[in-house]
Structure 1
Amino acid sequence: MGGWWHEVWLTVAREFSDLDDVKAITQVVIRLGLALLLGGALGFEREMARRDAGLRTHMLVATGSALFVLVPLQAGFSQDNMSRVLQGLVSGIGFLGAGAIIKLSAEREVRGLTTAASLWLAAGVGVAAGLGREATAILSTVIALVILGGVRMFKPLVPPHTHDKPEQDEPSKRVE
């Protein structure tokens, strides 16, 4: 017996063979799980700062970035091909970060730069985790959290930014 059901079963089994042993499964779970947790830590800080891109966004960016490098590693991509994957990933994250930046014309200010930078960093943390550089991913996250949370404590000491430029319509007061 066997027939076509047997062929279907064998095809399905081959399709799911990328995680064929406990070592491979553990490696993927650790790398993606760490990216998820570290992205979550960055996103939690952004949530506490009441920013638009928060917990879920940072978790998705970090986990997605880890996945984008983990799969090519599993597939045996060359260093050149992995370089192209990373170039595409960095470009895509730049586009996502640009969406987090808002220019408020009336107030003449730009907002969202720190959130865009934290998304960029979350992608880097995800890449490190996906490549199996767990300690680097953790250290980078700790440094980022110190920057995001710790430096905020010193912000009240910095005088407010003022625009000292003359208005465009104002005639020049230059003496000749």
Structure 2
Amino acid sequence: MDWLVDTLSAEFGHMPGPGTLVVILRIAGAAFLCGIIGLEREITDHSAGLRTNMLVGIASATFAVIAMGLIAEVHGDEVRIDPLRLIEAVTSGVAFLAAGLIVLARGQVRGLTTGASVWLSAAVGLAVGVGQWILALLAAAAGVLVLSAVAKFECRLGLAKKSHDNKGDA
């Protein structure tokens, strides 16, 4: 019976990289920050709202933590590390998701801002996943500011093609 406990402990109790508490904080932090971005989309009744942005942020943070864990497990010259590959992989994956949100309807492009918000959530999730909390906080705050305050400013100046009232993706 001890061999079973030892085996299960080795399999499920091992957290390479930053450690279990840090991983929990990073995943929760990504969910929270990206949830704020998604909340604006949800409040203004756009697609890809709260849950979508949270899931994109969680996934991006998870990929970052996985990469950091793999790097921590490999010692010496056994692996060449290129952090840009992580960024490229997440960006490519999210690009497909964001592209699916962008549609051409009645001669107008719709969903572009929502697609961009999902892309931003991926970047915020990556930043949190690698422990760049200040960058993640600044990016999330800037994103929410652009999505809410700049959109209102555009409407006041008459620059927005569609107002939030008729559900355009301004």
TM-score, length of structure 1 as denominator length: 0.80
1:94 has 2:95 as partner = yes
In 1, the alpha carbon distance for the partners of 2:160 and 2:40 equals 23
Distance 2:115 2:160 in 1: 22
Structure 1 residues 159, 137: CA separation in 2 closer, same or farther (over 3 Å shift)?
closer
Q: Note the alpha carbon deviations across 1:5-53, whole angstroms, 9 max, x for none.
A: 3322211111123238xx7222112111110100110010000110011
> Which of the residues 42, 47, 51 maps onto 1:52?
47
The aligned counterpart of 1:154 is 153
Q: Which consecutive unaligned segments of at least 5 residues does structure 2 have?
A: 73-78, 162-170
1:56-86 per-residue CA deviation (whole Å, 9 max, x = no partner) reads 0000000110000111102216663433232
1:9-158 aligned within 5 A: 9-19=5-15, 24-76=19-71, 80-104=81-105, 107-156=106-155, 157-158=157-158
Counterpart code for 1:14: A
Which one has a bigger Cα radius of gyration? 1
SS in structure 1 at match of 2:39: helix
Provide the secondary structure at the position in 1 that maps to 2:47: coil
Q: Which has the higher contact order (CA 8 A, sep 6+)?
A: 2
What is the count of residue pairs matched by the alignment?
Answer: 153
**Which residue is 1:170 aligned to?**
none
Instruction: Name the aligned partner's letter for residue 103 of structure 2.
Output: I
Unaligned 5+ residue runs, structure 1? 162-176
d(CA) in 2 for partners of 1:130, 1:159: 36
Partners of 2:101 and 2:83 lie apart in 1 by 27
Assess if the C-alpha contact under 8 Å between 2:151 and 2:160 holds in 1: no
Q: Matched residues in 2 for 1:126 and 1:160: separation?
A: 29
Residue 76 of structure 1 aligns to a residue in which SS? helix
For residues 45 and 93 of structure 2, what CA distance do their matches in structure 1 show? 24
1:18–1:146 Cα change, 3 Å = same
Question: Aligned residues: percent identity?
Answer: 35
| Higher mean C-alpha displacement, 37-46 vs 23-32 | 23-32
